[in-house]
Chain A
Amino acid sequence: MRRYETVFIADPDIPEENRVALFERLKGLIETDENFIIRFDEWGVRKTAYEIKKKKRGFYVLAEYTGMGDLVQELERVMRIDDRVLKFLTVLKDEDANPEAIREEMAREEAEKEAKELERAEAKAAAEARKAEAEAEAEATAVAEAAKAAEEGEAVQAEEEDSAAPEEADASSEESGDESETPVEDPKE
């Protein structure tokens, strides 16, 4: 059993259902009693390094699978005919692949992915809880501050009314004080 990897570029301008149909067709070609798909990663639309069939972008897909040369020939024949596929490249990854080992590897990767997703979900939930808590706290302090400010505002208003005249008197006295001090400080500067 061999292990192959095919990257192909699908037409980025076809409707999604058409693209999905293409992918399903190719997957169907690969999956038989003995052959299976290891991964089918849709990279999505990317800019191509040069124009292919007058297109500057392409929908990239990476498919990894097991099989023998006849499968690759059939797959490439179909892709060559199908004009929804702009270009493809097949690379032999392992000449003597062990299907059991590959299935184990897939299971391990799947488990890792699930664990990571769970972790991410938990982290997200925790962050949201923290955010909600912080928001509640901020709201509480805001309310408290507003109440305090209202109280203080009343007090300040009252004070301002009281001290309006004395402040003016203070200012004039300070000014005169400064004038008397200047001659002393000047030589230092």
Chain B
Amino acid sequence: MAIRPVNRRKRVFHRRKVCRFCADKSMNIDYKETRTLRYFTTDRGKIVPRRISGTCAKHQRALTTAIKRARHIALMPFVGNVPD
């Protein structure tokens, strides 16, 4: 009973992250600043879900918009590796 797999799993994934944009007010979300945005995408170009990145709902919404804009103007890829 004491060593239930649920317990263990919880410990492994327990990463209490705070939203990086709330923690650092100087960081802003702009579709032109791909260096910041790249941090919130996987190496395949997918947007990292906020359950992984810890971004708050408000900033995740802004991030999603910015990443989609950056994709539209070809500053970031829709799929595939992010070119350096």
Binding site for B on A (CB under 8 A): 7, 9, 47-50, 52, 58, 62, 87-89, 91
Contact = CB atoms under 8 A, between A and B. Distances in A.
10 contacts: A7-B73, A9-B73, A47-B83, A49-B74, A49-B76, A50-B74, A50-B80, A58-B74, A88-B73, A89-B31
B45 to A, nearest CB: 8
Nearest to B65: A91
Nearest to A55: B74
Contact of A49 (B31, B32, B69, B75): B75
- Among A47, A58, A89, residue most surrounded by chain B Cβ atoms (within 10 Å): A89
Interface string B42-84: 0000000000000000000000000001011111111010110
Contact of A87 (B31, B32, B73, B83): B73
Given A49-B71, A88-B73, 12 more contacts: A7-B32, A47-B83, A48-B74, A49-B75, A49-B77, A50-B80, A52-B74, A87-B72, A87-B74, A89-B72, A89-B73, A91-B31
Contact of A50 (B32, B69, B77): B77
A58 B69 CA distance: 17
A71 to B, nearest CB: 19
Of all A-B residue pairs in the complex, the 8 with the closest CB atoms, nearest first, are A48-B74, A49-B77, A89-B73, A49-B74, A7-B73, A49-B76, A89-B72, A50-B77
Contacts of A62: 32
B83 A89 contact: no
Interface residues of B, number: 14
Contacts of B31: 89, 91
A48 B73 CA distance: 8
A13 to B, nearest CB: 16
A58 B74 CA distance: 9
Interface string B19-45: 000000000000110000000000000
Contacts of A50: 74, 77-78, 80
B77 A89 contact: no
B81 to A, nearest CB: 10
A91 B69 contact: yes
A49 B75 CA distance: 6
Nearest to B78: A50
Contacts of B82: 49
A22 B32 CA distance: 23
Contacts of A88: 73
